[in-house]
Structure 1
Amino acid sequence: MSERGGRANAAKRPKPVKGASAGIAPIYKRLPHGPHRLARGEVIRHQRARIHGAMVEAVAESGYERTSVKQVIGLAGVSRRSFYEQFANKEECFLATFDLIAGREIKRMRKTYIATDGDLEERLLASFSGLTAQAGENRKAATLVLLEARTAGSAGTLRLRRATTTCEQMLAHGFLAAPEASPLPGPIVRGITGGLHGVIAQATSAGRKRLDRGLSEEMVRWTLLFQTPAAAKMDELMAAALNVRMRQISLARAHPRPSAPPGDERTRLLEEILRLAALHEYRELTAPQIADEAGVPIDAFLEVFANRDECFLAALQMISDRLLAIAADPELVSSQWPIAVRRVLGELLSYLGEHPLYARTIAQEAFAAGAEAVEDTLDLMDAIATLLTEGAPAQARSALAVEGIAGALLHTIRCQVASGRVQLLGALSEHLSYLVLVPFIGAEAALEVLAEEMPRRLS
């Protein structure tokens, strides 16, 4: 499914072995030296298991960015040579560990769903209860999959996308196969999945107390809110919106807007660091490089920013300010709330589609730029979700409404960026509007709003 298993008592750990990093006590007992009865394949499997466990421990302690191969081999009690015989680098080891944990949990969820007797609600509850229980009992492993994978660059984002795609397929199949349910359009299932990921990631970050059956029950409630017998009408409705957006994109490409004149030095630096972060590894960027590419003297850079990170955070704030200016629409706290929601979402997503660098920054680069950038991005999604919902005419039918909407929004942006279809974000405004409206006015009423407004958009 847009965030730790137990460590041996330090007093009982063996002394660092040859090949382990000085000052880092291994958490696993090393295989004996000399002749033994283990085949080569068994030795390799034993070493890989220890390395995977050490990666979980290291990432839980230091985060992906600060984790080093030295730290991993020190905790695993293996030599540097043994590590590099099996993994090319830290990233490959991290991704293999992600695959192991995520694959095991997805398999367990699928097995639980199939083995549970009852209707869709009972099966989802069994699956979600197992997921939250595992996240609570193995919080370090959950942290690696739910929180740290998104900080591991494009490869980590892709792995997370693949895992959530599998979950989307499982959920879509559940809606399709259950007699009491109806199939939902793919982007809506994707948004529901993104909302669930955002909720459990935040719960994992907050600590074990939130990972209880109560959370599982709320996750089921959130998921089933979007079911309606009228769901069959949605595909036709949403397809019309997609066709409109495709025509708009074609016209925009045929008649591009004049380029904006270059901004002041500060603005050029902000735009340039976003461009460079998308082209290169963020941690490899330097202040002189940013200044040079922006055509700004390094002395001028240092007059406004202390370093690269301060410049990036300012650029992220620039994006936030522009998106929040769109989301802070006064009609969102008026009697026209449902109509305002779909209009504002259309403007937000179209703006990001027209500024793909901003969408990519939110979906990916910000998560590789350090903890403060990650927090700022998640805060931005929460702020947008709050602005979209604070004027709702009724109380939310799920306690997870705002969290779920924030997660759905971020996940949708991330998926469009990862698939290279960020320019089509505007076409998904109907789907996301449905996800925002339903928790407050119900599925049928939400569909009525979208159906009433669609002729105006098509005209």
Structure 2
Amino acid sequence: MSLAPHPETGSAPLPPEPRPDSTPLPGARPGRDPERAIKRGPRRQSAEAVAATQRDRLFDGLVHEVAARGYDNARVTDICGAAGVTRPAFYALFAGKEDAFLATYRHGTAVLLRLMDDAYAGAGPDWTTAARAALRTLLEVLASVPAFARMALVEIDAAGPAARDERDLLLSRFHRFFHPARPRSPLSPEEDDLLVTTVVAGIYGTLRLRVSQGRTAELPRLLPVLTYAMTAPFLGPGAGDRAARAADAGGPGVTAPCAVDPARPARGDD
């Protein structure tokens, strides 16, 4: 398989990505994971398989280095060292640090959204229950992989305009958890859409603040108040309070940072 340069970045394109629900969240493993060692000798892996393994290790290495050093201070050399991948191999996959950051962010948020989709769909037809399940998954998965949480919520601000555009696109995708099952607010359709945007932005800002303060492990504790913030504008304060109390009751945690059910198609982006 020949890899021609990407027309925009000039770098070789990534090999076909594994489905986002078949791999852990970037940063959940060390880049130098011995289980992903490149096989040598007569049974060595194909060039495509080697490139895919190197890419995944670089995803993990980048998350850990950016979380530890900050985007500006994390050098390509550091990322390669954390992943156990050479600089020539890095540049065969990415045009540079920004390109690698964007690819890691897109891949990681695809995994996160699939996890939330699965939780939302598996919670049943009641919108309040489904929305709370998706929100709980978001909080607990981010808490379980704090390096990704910092890279994706905090350091993305330093990664340039393209990264911030990706962040804005992600926030628009969170609207899928508000449509079409939830009750409408008493506002006009245009104002109702703006209300959803406001709720999403408020939740995101709260998470970013906690992560920037080094309090990522506390994110699951925010479930009751964020459930209220997510539901009360549409259901009213009484129903929002009941939803928050149900969230406070707890239950089995979401601990695996890896999405499941690879056979089921992903939900479309709303």
Which TM-score applies when normalising by structure 2? 0.70
1:166 to 173, 188, 191: 173
User: After superposition, where does 1:246-395 map in structure 2 within 5 Å?
Assistant: none
Three-state SS of the structure 2 residue aligned to 1:223 is helix
For residues 38 and 165 of structure 1, the distance between their equivalents in structure 2, rounded to whole angstroms, comes to 39
Tell me which residue corresponds to 1:177: 181
1:210 to 218, 221, 234: 218
Q: Is the 8 A contact 1:132 1:216 kept in 2?
A: yes
- Which AA in structure 2 matches 1:149? I
Q: Is the 8 A contact 2:144 2:217 kept in 1?
A: no
What's the CA shift for 1:172? Answer: 3.5
What's the CA shift for 1:89? Answer: 0.4
For residues 29 and 56 of structure 2, the distance between their equivalents in structure 1, rounded to whole angstroms, comes to 15
What's the CA shift for 1:35? Answer: 4.1
1:192 aligns with 2:212: no
- Which AA in structure 1 matches 2:166? R
1:27 to 28, 32, 54: 32
- Which AA in structure 1 matches 2:218? R
Unaligned runs of 5+ in 2: 1-25, 242-270
- Which AA in structure 1 matches 2:181? A
Q: Is the 8 A contact 2:54 2:85 kept in 1?
A: yes
Three-state SS of the structure 2 residue aligned to 1:55 is helix
Tell me which residue corresponds to 1:224: 231
Tell me which residue corresponds to 2:90: 83
What's the CA shift for 1:185? Answer: 2.3
Which TM-score applies when normalising by structure 1? 0.42
For residues 203 and 135 of structure 2, the distance between their equivalents in structure 1, rounded to whole angstroms, comes to 10
Structure 1, residues 149-173: CA drift from partner, whole Å, max 9, x if none?
12211011001011111112x1341
Tell me which residue corresponds to 2:154: 147
Q: Is the 8 A contact 1:54 1:76 kept in 2?
A: yes
Q: Is the 8 A contact 2:146 2:217 kept in 1?
A: no
User: After superposition, where does 1:416-455 map in structure 2 within 5 Å?
Assistant: none
Tell me which residue corresponds to 1:102: 109
Q: Is the 8 A contact 1:68 1:90 kept in 2?
A: yes
For residues 123 and 29 of structure 2, the distance between their equivalents in structure 1, rounded to whole angstroms, comes to 33
Identity of aligned residues (%): 25
2:140 to 118, 133, 147: 133
Tell me which residue corresponds to 1:44: 51
For residues 57 and 185 of structure 1, the distance between their equivalents in structure 2, rounded to whole angstroms, comes to 39
For residues 71 and 152 of structure 1, the distance between their equivalents in structure 2, rounded to whole angstroms, comes to 16
Aligned length: 205
* Larger RCO (CA within 8 A; separation ≥ 6): 2
Q: Is the 8 A contact 2:71 2:158 kept in 1?
A: yes
- Which AA in structure 1 matches 2:170? A
What's the CA shift for 1:101? Answer: 0.6
Q: Is the 8 A contact 1:167 1:193 kept in 2?
A: yes
Structure 1, residues 317-345: CA drift from partner, whole Å, max 9, x if none?
xxxxxxxxxxxxxxxxxxxxxxxxxxxxx
Three-state SS of the structure 2 residue aligned to 1:225 is helix
Q: Is the 8 A contact 1:56 1:140 kept in 2?
A: yes
Q: Over alpha carbons, which structure has the higher Rg?
A: 1
For residues 34 and 83 of structure 1, the distance between their equivalents in structure 2, rounded to whole angstroms, comes to 22
Q: Is the 8 A contact 2:39 2:45 kept in 1?
A: no
What's the CA shift for 1:186? Answer: 1.9
2:70 to 44, 54, 63: 63
What's the CA shift for 1:32? Answer: 4.3
Structure 1, residues 392-432: CA drift from partner, whole Å, max 9, x if none?
xxxxx8xxxxxxxxxxxxxxxxxxxxxxxxxxxxxxxxxxx
Give the superposed CA RMSD: 2.3
What's the CA shift for 1:77? Answer: 1.0
- Which AA in structure 2 matches 1:210? E
- Which AA in structure 1 matches 2:177? L
For residues 165 and 79 of structure 1, the distance between their equivalents in structure 2, rounded to whole angstroms, comes to 36
Tell me which residue corresponds to 1:298: none
Three-state SS of the structure 1 residue aligned to 2:72 is helix
Tell me which residue corresponds to 1:73: 80
Question: More helix per residue: 1 or 2?
Answer: 1
Three-state SS of the structure 1 residue aligned to 2:70 is helix
Distance 1:6 1:193, change over 3 A: closer
